[in-house]
Structure 1
Amino acid sequence: MESVGTGLVGIDWHDHRADVVLSRAEKRNAMNEDLMNDLVEAFRTVDGTEDVRAVTLLGDGPVFCAGMDLEMMRERVEPDADIDRDLFPEVLFAIEEARQPVVAGIKRAAPAGAFELTLPCDFRILGSEAKYGLLEVALGTFPHGGGTQRLPRLVGLSKAKEIVLTGEFVDPGEAERIGLVHEVCDDDAVDDRARAFADDLAENAPLGLEYGKRALNAAFDIPLERGLAYERSLGHELDHTRDYREGFEARLEGREPEFTGE
Protein backbone atom coordinates (compact mmCIF):
# COMPACT_ATOMS: atom_id res chain seq x y z
CA MET A 1 0.00 0.00 0.00
CA GLU A 2 1.25 3.47 -0.89
CA SER A 3 1.14 5.81 2.12
CA VAL A 4 -0.18 9.34 1.67
CA GLY A 5 0.94 12.43 3.58
CA THR A 6 1.40 11.57 7.25
CA GLY A 7 0.66 7.90 6.61
CA LEU A 8 -2.86 7.80 8.09
CA VAL A 9 -4.34 7.08 4.66
CA GLY A 10 -3.04 4.63 2.08
CA ILE A 11 -3.79 3.89 -1.57
CA ASP A 12 -3.84 0.38 -3.01
CA TRP A 13 -3.67 0.30 -6.81
CA HIS A 14 -5.42 -2.56 -8.66
CA ASP A 15 -5.57 -2.23 -12.45
CA HIS A 16 -8.37 0.32 -13.01
CA ARG A 17 -9.41 0.48 -9.33
CA ALA A 18 -7.86 2.43 -6.47
CA ASP A 19 -8.60 1.61 -2.82
CA VAL A 20 -8.34 4.62 -0.50
CA VAL A 21 -7.86 3.15 2.97
CA LEU A 22 -8.17 4.87 6.34
CA SER A 23 -5.09 3.52 8.12
CA ARG A 24 -5.45 4.49 11.76
CA ALA A 25 -6.74 1.14 12.96
CA GLU A 26 -5.42 1.55 16.53
CA LYS A 27 -7.87 4.49 16.90
CA ARG A 28 -10.66 2.76 14.95
CA ASN A 29 -9.76 5.06 12.04
CA ALA A 30 -11.09 8.11 13.89
CA MET A 31 -10.55 11.29 11.90
CA ASN A 32 -8.05 13.84 13.17
CA GLU A 33 -6.59 16.72 11.17
CA ASP A 34 -3.71 14.65 9.79
CA LEU A 35 -6.03 11.91 8.56
CA MET A 36 -8.38 14.42 6.93
CA ASN A 37 -5.49 16.17 5.18
CA ASP A 38 -4.29 12.77 3.98
CA LEU A 39 -7.77 11.96 2.65
CA VAL A 40 -7.84 15.15 0.59
CA GLU A 41 -4.42 14.33 -0.85
CA ALA A 42 -5.42 10.74 -1.57
CA PHE A 43 -8.56 11.65 -3.49
CA ARG A 44 -6.76 14.34 -5.46
CA THR A 45 -4.13 11.76 -6.34
CA VAL A 46 -6.57 9.13 -7.59
CA ASP A 47 -8.65 11.78 -9.36
CA GLY A 48 -5.56 12.78 -11.31
CA THR A 49 -4.49 9.22 -12.15
CA GLU A 50 -5.58 8.51 -15.71
CA ASP A 51 -5.94 4.72 -15.49
CA VAL A 52 -8.20 4.74 -12.42
CA ARG A 53 -11.86 4.27 -13.34
CA ALA A 54 -13.39 3.48 -9.92
CA VAL A 55 -12.43 4.07 -6.28
CA THR A 56 -13.27 2.45 -2.98
CA LEU A 57 -13.16 4.11 0.44
CA LEU A 58 -12.33 1.52 3.11
CA GLY A 59 -11.18 1.30 6.72
CA ASP A 60 -8.15 -0.69 7.83
CA GLY A 61 -8.85 -3.19 10.62
CA PRO A 62 -12.26 -4.33 11.85
CA VAL A 63 -14.04 -0.95 11.70
CA PHE A 64 -14.68 1.49 8.86
CA CYS A 65 -14.41 4.66 10.95
CA ALA A 66 -15.36 5.66 14.50
CA GLY A 67 -16.11 9.25 13.46
CA MET A 68 -14.20 12.31 14.56
CA ASP A 69 -11.29 11.93 16.97
CA LEU A 70 -12.70 12.71 20.43
CA GLU A 71 -9.51 14.41 21.65
CA MET A 72 -9.63 16.74 18.66
CA MET A 73 -13.32 17.45 19.27
CA ARG A 74 -12.69 18.21 22.94
CA GLU A 75 -10.09 20.77 21.89
CA ARG A 76 -12.50 22.20 19.31
CA VAL A 77 -15.02 23.35 21.93
CA GLU A 78 -12.40 25.52 23.65
CA PRO A 79 -12.87 29.22 22.77
CA ASP A 80 -9.27 29.66 21.62
CA ALA A 81 -9.03 26.32 19.77
CA ASP A 82 -6.77 26.41 16.72
CA ILE A 83 -8.76 23.91 14.69
CA ASP A 84 -9.28 24.06 10.93
CA ARG A 85 -13.08 23.98 10.76
CA ASP A 86 -13.09 24.03 6.96
CA LEU A 87 -11.04 20.84 6.66
CA PHE A 88 -13.89 18.31 6.86
CA PRO A 89 -15.94 20.03 4.13
CA GLU A 90 -12.79 19.99 1.98
CA VAL A 91 -12.57 16.22 2.48
CA LEU A 92 -16.19 15.74 1.46
CA PHE A 93 -15.85 17.90 -1.64
CA ALA A 94 -12.68 16.00 -2.65
CA ILE A 95 -14.70 12.77 -2.59
CA GLU A 96 -17.74 14.27 -4.29
CA GLU A 97 -15.75 15.95 -7.03
CA ALA A 98 -13.59 12.94 -7.91
CA ARG A 99 -14.23 12.16 -11.57
CA GLN A 100 -14.48 8.42 -10.80
CA PRO A 101 -17.40 6.77 -8.99
CA VAL A 102 -16.56 6.12 -5.32
CA VAL A 103 -17.80 3.06 -3.39
CA ALA A 104 -17.74 3.18 0.42
CA GLY A 105 -17.33 -0.07 2.34
CA ILE A 106 -18.97 0.53 5.74
CA LYS A 107 -18.26 -2.23 8.23
CA ARG A 108 -19.23 -2.39 11.92
CA ALA A 109 -19.17 1.33 12.73
CA ALA A 110 -19.71 4.66 11.00
CA PRO A 111 -21.36 7.06 13.45
CA ALA A 112 -21.72 10.84 13.27
CA GLY A 113 -18.86 12.29 11.20
CA ALA A 114 -18.11 8.88 9.69
CA PHE A 115 -21.73 8.69 8.50
CA GLU A 116 -21.30 12.11 6.87
CA LEU A 117 -18.03 10.93 5.33
CA THR A 118 -19.94 8.29 3.35
CA LEU A 119 -22.64 10.63 2.00
CA PRO A 120 -20.66 12.16 -0.90
CA CYS A 121 -19.67 8.66 -2.05
CA ASP A 122 -21.61 7.43 -5.07
CA PHE A 123 -22.34 3.98 -3.64
CA ARG A 124 -22.43 2.61 -0.09
CA ILE A 125 -22.03 -1.05 0.90
CA LEU A 126 -23.13 -1.51 4.53
CA GLY A 127 -22.37 -4.28 7.00
CA SER A 128 -25.40 -6.07 8.46
CA GLU A 129 -24.24 -5.33 12.03
CA ALA A 130 -22.92 -1.82 11.40
CA LYS A 131 -23.68 1.05 13.78
CA TYR A 132 -24.55 3.68 11.19
CA GLY A 133 -26.24 6.93 12.09
CA LEU A 134 -26.09 10.60 13.07
CA LEU A 135 -25.78 10.97 16.85
CA GLU A 136 -25.01 14.67 17.15
CA VAL A 137 -28.32 15.77 18.70
CA ALA A 138 -27.45 13.64 21.73
CA LEU A 139 -24.12 15.50 22.01
CA GLY A 140 -25.50 19.04 22.19
CA THR A 141 -25.22 19.91 18.51
CA PHE A 142 -26.50 18.67 15.13
CA PRO A 143 -24.76 17.19 12.09
CA HIS A 144 -23.30 20.16 10.23
CA GLY A 145 -20.67 18.45 8.10
CA GLY A 146 -23.12 18.04 5.23
CA GLY A 147 -25.60 15.71 6.94
CA THR A 148 -28.58 18.06 6.79
CA GLN A 149 -27.95 18.88 3.11
CA ARG A 150 -26.71 15.70 1.45
CA LEU A 151 -28.92 13.26 3.36
CA PRO A 152 -32.30 14.69 2.18
CA ARG A 153 -31.06 14.38 -1.40
CA LEU A 154 -30.61 10.65 -0.82
CA VAL A 155 -33.63 9.69 1.27
CA GLY A 156 -36.05 12.62 1.14
CA LEU A 157 -36.68 15.35 3.69
CA SER A 158 -39.02 13.47 6.04
CA LYS A 159 -36.76 10.45 6.45
CA ALA A 160 -33.69 12.70 6.77
CA LYS A 161 -35.40 14.57 9.62
CA GLU A 162 -36.07 11.25 11.34
CA ILE A 163 -32.43 10.19 11.07
CA VAL A 164 -31.03 13.56 12.15
CA LEU A 165 -33.48 14.50 14.91
CA THR A 166 -33.84 11.13 16.63
CA GLY A 167 -30.08 10.62 16.80
CA GLU A 168 -30.56 6.87 16.50
CA PHE A 169 -28.65 4.32 14.46
CA VAL A 170 -30.28 3.35 11.16
CA ASP A 171 -31.17 -0.32 10.88
CA PRO A 172 -29.13 -1.72 7.95
CA GLY A 173 -32.18 -3.30 6.33
CA GLU A 174 -34.03 0.01 6.57
CA ALA A 175 -31.00 1.83 5.17
CA GLU A 176 -31.16 -0.38 2.09
CA ARG A 177 -34.95 -0.06 1.77
CA ILE A 178 -34.90 3.76 1.74
CA GLY A 179 -31.99 3.97 -0.71
CA LEU A 180 -29.46 5.28 1.79
CA VAL A 181 -27.17 2.36 0.97
CA HIS A 182 -27.03 0.22 -2.12
CA GLU A 183 -26.41 -3.16 -0.56
CA VAL A 184 -26.17 -4.84 2.83
CA CYS A 185 -23.89 -7.81 3.40
CA ASP A 186 -22.03 -9.54 6.22
CA ASP A 187 -19.55 -7.17 7.86
CA ASP A 188 -16.64 -9.51 7.14
CA ALA A 189 -17.50 -9.37 3.43
CA VAL A 190 -17.96 -5.58 3.13
CA ASP A 191 -14.49 -4.66 1.86
CA ASP A 192 -14.41 -7.44 -0.74
CA ARG A 193 -17.92 -6.60 -1.91
CA ALA A 194 -17.02 -2.92 -2.27
CA ARG A 195 -13.95 -3.85 -4.30
CA ALA A 196 -15.97 -6.18 -6.54
CA PHE A 197 -18.62 -3.48 -7.05
CA ALA A 198 -15.92 -0.98 -8.05
CA ASP A 199 -14.33 -3.52 -10.41
CA ASP A 200 -17.69 -3.98 -12.13
CA LEU A 201 -17.98 -0.21 -12.56
CA ALA A 202 -14.43 -0.04 -13.92
CA GLU A 203 -15.34 -2.34 -16.82
CA ASN A 204 -17.37 0.50 -18.32
CA ALA A 205 -16.09 3.35 -20.45
CA PRO A 206 -14.15 5.81 -18.24
CA LEU A 207 -15.49 8.90 -20.03
CA GLY A 208 -19.03 7.55 -19.75
CA LEU A 209 -18.54 7.07 -16.01
CA GLU A 210 -17.02 10.51 -15.54
CA TYR A 211 -19.53 12.45 -17.62
CA GLY A 212 -22.47 10.48 -16.27
CA LYS A 213 -21.42 11.27 -12.71
CA ARG A 214 -21.05 14.96 -13.56
CA ALA A 215 -24.53 15.09 -15.05
CA LEU A 216 -26.10 13.23 -12.13
CA ASN A 217 -24.38 15.41 -9.53
CA ALA A 218 -25.88 18.49 -11.19
CA ALA A 219 -29.44 17.13 -11.05
CA PHE A 220 -30.37 18.72 -7.72
CA ASP A 221 -28.40 21.92 -8.21
CA ILE A 222 -29.94 23.40 -11.36
CA PRO A 223 -33.47 23.64 -12.82
CA LEU A 224 -34.66 20.79 -15.04
CA GLU A 225 -34.40 22.72 -18.31
CA ARG A 226 -30.80 23.72 -17.61
CA GLY A 227 -30.02 20.21 -16.41
CA LEU A 228 -31.30 18.69 -19.64
CA ALA A 229 -29.23 21.15 -21.67
CA TYR A 230 -26.16 20.35 -19.57
CA GLU A 231 -26.76 16.62 -20.05
CA ARG A 232 -26.99 17.06 -23.83
CA SER A 233 -23.86 19.20 -23.97
CA LEU A 234 -21.88 16.56 -22.09
CA GLY A 235 -23.24 13.85 -24.35
CA HIS A 236 -22.26 15.78 -27.47
CA GLU A 237 -18.70 16.02 -26.16
CA LEU A 238 -18.49 12.23 -26.31
CA ASP A 239 -20.12 11.80 -29.74
CA HIS A 240 -16.83 11.58 -31.63
CA THR A 241 -14.62 9.89 -29.06
CA ARG A 242 -12.77 6.68 -29.76
CA ASP A 243 -14.50 4.88 -26.84
CA TYR A 244 -17.99 5.74 -28.11
CA ARG A 245 -17.18 4.18 -31.47
CA GLU A 246 -15.52 1.22 -29.76
CA GLY A 247 -18.57 0.54 -27.61
CA PHE A 248 -20.89 0.26 -30.60
CA GLU A 249 -18.42 -1.71 -32.72
CA ALA A 250 -17.80 -4.21 -29.94
CA ARG A 251 -21.54 -4.72 -29.43
CA LEU A 252 -22.10 -5.27 -33.17
CA GLU A 253 -19.14 -7.68 -33.35
CA GLY A 254 -20.20 -9.61 -30.25
CA ARG A 255 -17.01 -8.97 -28.28
CA GLU A 256 -15.98 -7.17 -25.11
CA PRO A 257 -15.06 -3.52 -25.69
CA GLU A 258 -11.53 -2.27 -25.02
CA PHE A 259 -11.91 1.20 -23.59
CA THR A 260 -8.97 3.60 -23.40
CA GLY A 261 -10.56 6.82 -22.14
CA GLU A 262 -10.11 8.55 -25.49
Structure 2
Amino acid sequence: MESVGSGLVTIDWHDHRADVYLSRPDKRNAMTVPLMTDLVEAFERVDAADDVRAATLLGEGPVFSAGMDLEMMRDRVEPDSEIDRDVFPDVLAAIEEIRQPVVAGIKRAAPAGAFELTLPCDFRIIGRNAKYGLLEVALGTFPHGGGTQRLPRLVGLSNAKEIVLTGAFVDPEDAADMGLVHEVVDTDAVDDRAKAFADDLCSNAPLGLRNGKRALNAAFDLPLERGLEYERRLGFELDDTHDYREGFEARLEDREPEFRGE
Protein backbone atom coordinates (compact mmCIF):
# COMPACT_ATOMS: atom_id res chain seq x y z
CA MET A 1 0.00 0.00 0.00
CA GLU A 2 1.26 3.45 -0.92
CA SER A 3 0.08 6.30 1.29
CA VAL A 4 -0.94 9.55 -0.40
CA GLY A 5 -0.57 13.05 1.07
CA SER A 6 -1.96 13.15 4.59
CA GLY A 7 -2.48 9.38 4.61
CA LEU A 8 -6.27 9.39 4.24
CA VAL A 9 -6.05 7.76 0.82
CA THR A 10 -3.88 4.81 -0.20
CA ILE A 11 -3.03 3.16 -3.51
CA ASP A 12 -2.44 -0.56 -3.92
CA TRP A 13 -0.62 -1.27 -7.19
CA HIS A 14 -1.29 -4.62 -8.89
CA ASP A 15 0.46 -5.09 -12.22
CA HIS A 16 -1.85 -3.20 -14.63
CA ARG A 17 -4.49 -2.34 -11.96
CA ALA A 18 -4.42 0.35 -9.28
CA ASP A 19 -6.75 0.15 -6.27
CA VAL A 20 -7.46 3.56 -4.73
CA TYR A 21 -8.80 3.34 -1.16
CA LEU A 22 -10.55 5.88 1.00
CA SER A 23 -8.56 5.16 4.16
CA ARG A 24 -10.46 6.62 7.08
CA PRO A 25 -12.24 3.49 8.29
CA ASP A 26 -12.62 4.69 11.87
CA LYS A 27 -14.93 7.43 10.52
CA ARG A 28 -16.62 5.24 7.90
CA ASN A 29 -14.46 6.94 5.29
CA ALA A 30 -16.34 10.21 5.67
CA MET A 31 -14.82 12.81 3.39
CA THR A 32 -12.90 15.81 4.70
CA VAL A 33 -10.91 18.41 2.80
CA PRO A 34 -7.60 16.57 3.48
CA LEU A 35 -9.10 13.27 2.30
CA MET A 36 -10.47 14.85 -0.88
CA THR A 37 -7.16 16.57 -1.52
CA ASP A 38 -5.46 13.18 -1.19
CA LEU A 39 -7.95 11.70 -3.66
CA VAL A 40 -7.04 14.26 -6.28
CA GLU A 41 -3.36 13.44 -5.84
CA ALA A 42 -4.05 9.70 -5.94
CA PHE A 43 -5.86 9.84 -9.25
CA GLU A 44 -3.19 12.12 -10.68
CA ARG A 45 -0.62 9.45 -9.76
CA VAL A 46 -2.68 6.71 -11.36
CA ASP A 47 -3.25 8.80 -14.48
CA ALA A 48 0.50 9.30 -14.82
CA ALA A 49 1.26 5.58 -14.52
CA ASP A 50 1.56 4.37 -18.11
CA ASP A 51 1.50 0.71 -17.08
CA VAL A 52 -1.89 1.03 -15.32
CA ARG A 53 -4.81 0.10 -17.57
CA ALA A 54 -7.71 0.29 -15.08
CA ALA A 55 -8.37 1.44 -11.52
CA THR A 56 -10.81 0.82 -8.71
CA LEU A 57 -12.20 3.20 -6.10
CA LEU A 58 -12.87 1.40 -2.82
CA GLY A 59 -13.42 2.06 0.86
CA GLU A 60 -11.07 0.61 3.45
CA GLY A 61 -12.96 -1.34 6.08
CA PRO A 62 -16.62 -2.40 6.01
CA VAL A 63 -18.10 0.73 4.35
CA PHE A 64 -17.41 2.52 1.07
CA SER A 65 -18.09 5.97 2.51
CA ALA A 66 -20.58 7.68 4.81
CA GLY A 67 -20.41 10.75 2.57
CA MET A 68 -19.21 14.17 3.61
CA ASP A 69 -17.98 14.57 7.18
CA LEU A 70 -20.99 16.07 8.98
CA GLU A 71 -18.93 18.26 11.30
CA MET A 72 -17.15 19.71 8.29
CA MET A 73 -20.45 20.42 6.54
CA ARG A 74 -21.87 22.07 9.67
CA ASP A 75 -18.80 24.24 10.11
CA ARG A 76 -18.72 25.40 6.50
CA VAL A 77 -21.74 27.67 7.11
CA GLU A 78 -19.82 29.69 9.69
CA PRO A 79 -18.82 33.16 8.41
CA ASP A 80 -15.12 32.56 9.06
CA SER A 81 -15.07 29.03 7.67
CA GLU A 82 -11.93 28.16 5.71
CA ILE A 83 -13.47 25.09 4.06
CA ASP A 84 -12.34 24.84 0.46
CA ARG A 85 -15.60 24.72 -1.46
CA ASP A 86 -13.87 23.83 -4.72
CA VAL A 87 -12.04 20.68 -3.67
CA PHE A 88 -14.95 18.26 -4.26
CA PRO A 89 -15.41 19.33 -7.90
CA ASP A 90 -11.65 18.84 -8.28
CA VAL A 91 -12.01 15.25 -7.02
CA LEU A 92 -14.84 14.48 -9.41
CA ALA A 93 -12.95 16.01 -12.33
CA ALA A 94 -9.83 14.02 -11.45
CA ILE A 95 -11.83 10.78 -11.60
CA GLU A 96 -13.71 11.74 -14.75
CA GLU A 97 -10.64 12.91 -16.66
CA ILE A 98 -8.28 10.08 -15.74
CA ARG A 99 -7.15 8.18 -18.84
CA GLN A 100 -7.94 4.75 -17.40
CA PRO A 101 -11.45 3.41 -16.71
CA VAL A 102 -12.41 3.45 -13.02
CA VAL A 103 -14.59 0.86 -11.24
CA ALA A 104 -16.28 1.89 -7.98
CA GLY A 105 -17.00 -0.74 -5.34
CA ILE A 106 -20.02 0.41 -3.30
CA LYS A 107 -20.41 -1.62 -0.13
CA ARG A 108 -22.90 -1.02 2.67
CA ALA A 109 -23.20 2.78 2.36
CA ALA A 110 -22.65 5.58 -0.15
CA PRO A 111 -25.11 8.38 0.65
CA ALA A 112 -25.12 12.01 -0.50
CA GLY A 113 -21.57 13.11 -1.33
CA ALA A 114 -20.38 9.49 -1.51
CA PHE A 115 -23.13 8.80 -4.06
CA GLU A 116 -21.92 11.77 -6.12
CA LEU A 117 -18.34 10.51 -5.77
CA THR A 118 -19.29 7.35 -7.67
CA LEU A 119 -20.98 9.13 -10.58
CA PRO A 120 -17.86 10.06 -12.58
CA CYS A 121 -16.59 6.49 -12.26
CA ASP A 122 -17.00 4.47 -15.43
CA PHE A 123 -18.48 1.40 -13.73
CA ARG A 124 -20.21 0.82 -10.39
CA ILE A 125 -20.44 -2.49 -8.51
CA ILE A 126 -22.83 -2.39 -5.55
CA GLY A 127 -23.68 -4.63 -2.61
CA ARG A 128 -27.23 -5.98 -2.29
CA ASN A 129 -27.98 -4.13 0.94
CA ALA A 130 -26.11 -0.89 0.25
CA LYS A 131 -27.63 2.43 1.36
CA TYR A 132 -27.19 4.38 -1.86
CA GLY A 133 -28.94 7.67 -2.48
CA LEU A 134 -28.97 11.46 -2.46
CA LEU A 135 -30.29 12.67 0.90
CA GLU A 136 -29.57 16.39 0.65
CA VAL A 137 -33.18 17.58 0.35
CA ALA A 138 -33.72 16.25 3.89
CA LEU A 139 -30.73 18.27 5.10
CA GLY A 140 -31.86 21.70 3.94
CA THR A 141 -30.09 21.72 0.59
CA PHE A 142 -29.90 19.68 -2.62
CA PRO A 143 -27.09 17.70 -4.28
CA HIS A 144 -24.86 20.21 -6.04
CA GLY A 145 -21.63 18.26 -6.41
CA GLY A 146 -22.68 16.97 -9.81
CA GLY A 147 -25.77 15.02 -8.77
CA THR A 148 -28.23 17.09 -10.79
CA GLN A 149 -26.01 17.09 -13.88
CA ARG A 150 -24.24 13.73 -14.09
CA LEU A 151 -27.13 11.65 -12.79
CA PRO A 152 -29.65 12.52 -15.57
CA ARG A 153 -27.02 11.55 -18.14
CA LEU A 154 -26.84 8.10 -16.56
CA VAL A 155 -30.49 7.34 -15.74
CA GLY A 156 -32.62 9.90 -17.58
CA LEU A 157 -34.33 13.00 -16.24
CA SER A 158 -37.38 11.33 -14.69
CA ASN A 159 -35.35 8.80 -12.69
CA ALA A 160 -32.91 11.50 -11.64
CA LYS A 161 -35.73 13.72 -10.36
CA GLU A 162 -37.10 10.86 -8.30
CA ILE A 163 -33.70 10.16 -6.75
CA VAL A 164 -32.86 13.82 -6.07
CA LEU A 165 -36.24 15.18 -4.99
CA THR A 166 -37.46 12.31 -2.81
CA GLY A 167 -34.15 11.93 -0.98
CA ALA A 168 -34.84 8.21 -0.69
CA PHE A 169 -32.30 5.43 -0.93
CA VAL A 170 -32.23 3.64 -4.27
CA ASP A 171 -32.73 -0.11 -4.10
CA PRO A 172 -29.61 -1.70 -5.65
CA GLU A 173 -31.66 -3.87 -8.01
CA ASP A 174 -33.61 -0.80 -9.17
CA ALA A 175 -30.31 1.01 -9.63
CA ALA A 176 -29.18 -1.81 -11.91
CA ASP A 177 -32.44 -1.75 -13.88
CA MET A 178 -32.08 1.97 -14.62
CA GLY A 179 -28.41 1.64 -15.60
CA LEU A 180 -27.04 3.47 -12.57
CA VAL A 181 -24.94 0.49 -11.47
CA HIS A 182 -23.54 -2.34 -13.51
CA GLU A 183 -23.69 -5.28 -11.12
CA VAL A 184 -25.33 -6.14 -7.81
CA VAL A 185 -23.37 -8.64 -5.72
CA ASP A 186 -23.25 -9.91 -2.15
CA THR A 187 -21.90 -7.29 0.22
CA ASP A 188 -18.78 -9.25 1.10
CA ALA A 189 -17.96 -9.71 -2.60
CA VAL A 190 -18.06 -6.04 -3.64
CA ASP A 191 -14.36 -5.21 -3.48
CA ASP A 192 -13.23 -8.48 -5.03
CA ARG A 193 -15.75 -8.16 -7.87
CA ALA A 194 -14.69 -4.56 -8.56
CA LYS A 195 -11.08 -5.71 -8.78
CA ALA A 196 -11.99 -8.63 -11.03
CA PHE A 197 -14.01 -6.31 -13.27
CA ALA A 198 -10.99 -3.99 -13.51
CA ASP A 199 -8.72 -6.96 -14.28
CA ASP A 200 -11.01 -7.90 -17.18
CA LEU A 201 -10.59 -4.38 -18.51
CA CYS A 202 -6.82 -4.69 -18.10
CA SER A 203 -6.76 -7.59 -20.56
CA ASN A 204 -7.67 -5.17 -23.35
CA ALA A 205 -5.43 -2.80 -25.29
CA PRO A 206 -4.59 0.20 -23.07
CA LEU A 207 -4.60 2.70 -25.94
CA GLY A 208 -7.98 1.41 -27.09
CA LEU A 209 -9.34 1.73 -23.55
CA ARG A 210 -8.09 5.29 -23.20
CA ASN A 211 -9.25 6.60 -26.56
CA GLY A 212 -12.54 4.74 -26.25
CA LYS A 213 -13.16 6.42 -22.91
CA ARG A 214 -12.28 9.82 -24.37
CA ALA A 215 -14.74 9.34 -27.22
CA LEU A 216 -17.53 8.12 -24.95
CA ASN A 217 -17.06 10.98 -22.49
CA ALA A 218 -17.51 13.44 -25.34
CA ALA A 219 -20.76 11.87 -26.54
CA PHE A 220 -23.06 14.18 -24.55
CA ASP A 221 -20.94 17.27 -25.06
CA LEU A 222 -20.65 17.35 -28.84
CA PRO A 223 -23.25 17.50 -31.63
CA LEU A 224 -23.45 14.15 -33.42
CA GLU A 225 -21.48 15.23 -36.50
CA ARG A 226 -18.62 16.65 -34.44
CA GLY A 227 -18.71 13.63 -32.14
CA LEU A 228 -18.34 11.29 -35.10
CA GLU A 229 -15.40 13.32 -36.39
CA TYR A 230 -13.76 13.20 -32.94
CA GLU A 231 -14.35 9.44 -32.73
CA ARG A 232 -12.73 8.85 -36.13
CA ARG A 233 -9.73 11.04 -35.26
CA LEU A 234 -9.15 9.12 -32.03
CA GLY A 235 -9.43 5.87 -33.95
CA PHE A 236 -6.96 6.96 -36.64
CA GLU A 237 -4.46 7.82 -33.89
CA LEU A 238 -4.14 4.10 -33.12
CA ASP A 239 -3.76 2.76 -36.67
CA ASP A 240 0.03 2.91 -36.66
CA THR A 241 0.62 1.46 -33.20
CA HIS A 242 2.14 -1.80 -32.02
CA ASP A 243 -1.03 -2.72 -30.15
CA TYR A 244 -3.25 -2.30 -33.23
CA ARG A 245 -1.06 -4.68 -35.23
CA GLU A 246 -0.64 -7.05 -32.27
CA GLY A 247 -4.37 -7.26 -31.66
CA PHE A 248 -5.18 -8.40 -35.18
CA GLU A 249 -2.15 -10.69 -35.47
CA ALA A 250 -3.01 -12.40 -32.18
CA ARG A 251 -6.60 -12.96 -33.30
CA LEU A 252 -5.44 -14.44 -36.63
CA GLU A 253 -2.92 -16.67 -34.83
CA ASP A 254 -5.47 -17.69 -32.16
CA ARG A 255 -3.34 -16.57 -29.23
CA GLU A 256 -3.53 -14.02 -26.40
CA PRO A 257 -2.27 -10.58 -27.44
CA GLU A 258 0.72 -8.99 -25.75
CA PHE A 259 -0.22 -5.34 -25.57
CA ARG A 260 2.44 -2.77 -24.69
CA GLY A 261 0.52 0.52 -24.77
CA GLU A 262 2.54 1.57 -27.81
Extract unaligned runs of 5+ from structure 2. Answer: none
DSSP 3-state at the match of 1:226: helix
Q: Are 1:147 and 2:147 matched, yes or no?
A: yes
Q: Which amino acid aligns with 1:45?
A: R
Distance in 2 between the 1:115 and 1:171 partners? 13
Distance in 1 between the 2:97 and 2:164 partners? 25
Deviation of 1:83 (Å): 1.0
Residue 188 of structure 1 is matched in structure 2 by 188
Q: Which amino acid aligns with 2:134?
A: L
Q: Which amino acid aligns with 1:167?
A: G
Distance in 2 between the 1:83 and 1:59 partners? 23
Distance in 2 between the 1:253 and 1:185 partners? 36
DSSP 3-state at the match of 1:238: coil
Deviation of 1:28 (Å): 0.1
Distance in 2 between the 1:87 and 1:220 partners? 24
Distance in 2 between the 1:142 and 1:198 partners? 32
Distance in 1 between the 2:33 and 2:44 partners? 17
Q: Which amino acid aligns with 2:34?
A: D
Residue 95 of structure 1 is matched in structure 2 by 95
Q: Which amino acid aligns with 1:219?
A: A
Distance in 1 between the 2:14 and 2:239 partners? 29
Deviation of 1:7 (Å): 0.3
Kindly provide the CA deviation profile for residues 80-125 of structure 1, in whole angstroms up to 9, marking residues without a partner as x.
Answer: 2111100000000000000000000000000000000000000000
DSSP 3-state at the match of 1:56: strand
TM-score (normalizing by structure 2): 1.00
Q: Give the 4+ runs in structure 1 shifted more than 6 A.
A: none
Extract unaligned runs of 5+ from structure 1. Answer: none
Residue 254 of structure 1 is matched in structure 2 by 254
Q: 1:8-23 maps to which residues of 2 (within 5 A)? A: 8-23=8-23
Distance in 2 between the 1:139 and 1:80 partners? 22
DSSP 3-state at the match of 1:221: coil
Distance in 1 between the 2:74 and 2:160 partners? 27
Q: Which amino acid aligns with 1:238?
A: L
Residue 6 of structure 1 is matched in structure 2 by 6
Residue 240 of structure 1 is matched in structure 2 by 240
Farther off after superposition, 79-88 or 49-58: 79-88
DSSP 3-state at the match of 1:104: strand
Q: Which amino acid aligns with 2:41?
A: E
DSSP 3-state at the match of 2:237: helix
Kindly provide the CA deviation profile for residues 139-165 of structure 1, in whole angstroms up to 9, marking residues without a partner as x.
Answer: 000000000000000000010000000
Kindly provide the CA deviation profile for residues 166-189 of structure 1, in whole angstroms up to 9, marking residues without a partner as x.
Answer: 000000000000000000001110
Distance in 2 between the 1:131 and 1:172 partners? 8
Residue 172 of structure 1 is matched in structure 2 by 172
Q: Which amino acid aligns with 2:48?
A: G
Q: 1:13-162 maps to which residues of 2 (within 5 A)? A: 13-162=13-162
Distance in 2 between the 1:156 and 1:56 partners? 25
Identity across the alignment (%): 81
Kindly provide the CA deviation profile for residues 181-233 of structure 1, in whole angstroms up to 9, marking residues without a partner as x.
Answer: 00000111000000000000000000000000000000000100000000000
Distance in 2 between the 1:186 and 1:45 partners? 31
Matched pairs, number? 262
Q: Which amino acid aligns with 1:161?
A: K
TM-score (normalizing by structure 1): 1.00
Q: Which amino acid aligns with 2:68?
A: M
Q: Which amino acid aligns with 2:155?
A: V
Distance in 2 between the 1:140 and 1:19 partners? 35
Distance in 2 between the 1:158 and 1:105 partners? 25
Q: Which amino acid aligns with 1:129?
A: N
Distance in 1 between the 2:188 and 2:79 partners? 42
